[in-house]
Chain A
């Protein structure tokens, strides 16, 4: 028996549809870390860059990534770090060590949220059903990350290079969001990977 259950581990798959207009994939068990610190403090930013290998993004609604980590700007002094499954402990320890004595916070949220990826040709319409944010390419280019509402829950939405969206959602809302997506995608067909 595994000790790990992702937020969407137990969902009931929707009935098979001849054509899946939208595909949902849960990228489960990723390491999620919340980082707080002062972006004006060079000691902080350089320590973060040293540990993460990328500079913390300071432009609103942006994200940067390398092979090991994707860093979301959440607010002027807050970032979300997505690392590989199990890497969160070491990353947290490395950050704490590098930022010793600074006014920072590192908080493990790996179990508190999950990453789902949505793709498919009917995705634009499903996004219009689900969020008040304007997901048109002119407003939501690849690489942008936005915290907004998704149905009646919240989500951090990232536009991937392949046109799909990564959504970071809170664990307790995962069942509701899945229910919402199953309903919103019913007319197009929803596939779950």
Chain B
């Protein structure tokens, strides 16, 4: 049972209030028709599955219903940070960015 800080409700809440929404920072191509099948396939089907830091999207489904991002270690389950849509992670596998 994870304990997740909702950046909109500004509180730690129990995992059962949330739903997982997959890898974060995957932008929809602006012109899908211009992509090759392989490029479109990458966007639709392929996701990272790292051992370690992972940026992922969560939805505070039973709370404020906002989507947000989390940087979570898939091995230890430690959540290093959560941040709002449109923001960048400060913890990355390259170290603390910016």
Contacts and interface: CB of A to CB of B under 8 A. Distances in A.
Given A132-B16, A132-B17, A149 B62 contact: yes
Contacts of B66: 75-76
Given A74-B64, A75-B64, A75-B66, A132 B8 contact: no
Interface string B71-87: 00000000000000000
Given A132-B16, A149-B17, A60 B10 contact: yes
Contacts of A111: none
Interface residues of A, number: 12
B17 A61 contact: no
Interface in B12-40: 13-14, 16-17
Contacts of B14: 132-133, 149
Nearest to B1: A132
Given A74-B64, A75-B64, A75-B65, A148 B13 contact: yes
A74 B62 CA distance: 11
Contacts of A117: none
Interface residues of B, number: 13
A37 interface: no
B8 A76 contact: yes
Given A60-B10, A61-B11, A76-B8, A147 B64 contact: yes
B86 to A, nearest CB: 13
A75 B61 CA distance: 12
A154 interface: yes
Interface string A59-77: 0110000000000001110
A93 B10 CA distance: 33
Contacts of A75: 8-9, 64-66
B72 to A, nearest CB: 20
Interface of B: 8-11, 13-14, 16-17, 62-66
12 contacts: A60-B8, A60-B10, A75-B64, A75-B66, A76-B64, A78-B64, A132-B16, A133-B14, A147-B62, A147-B64, A148-B62, A154-B62
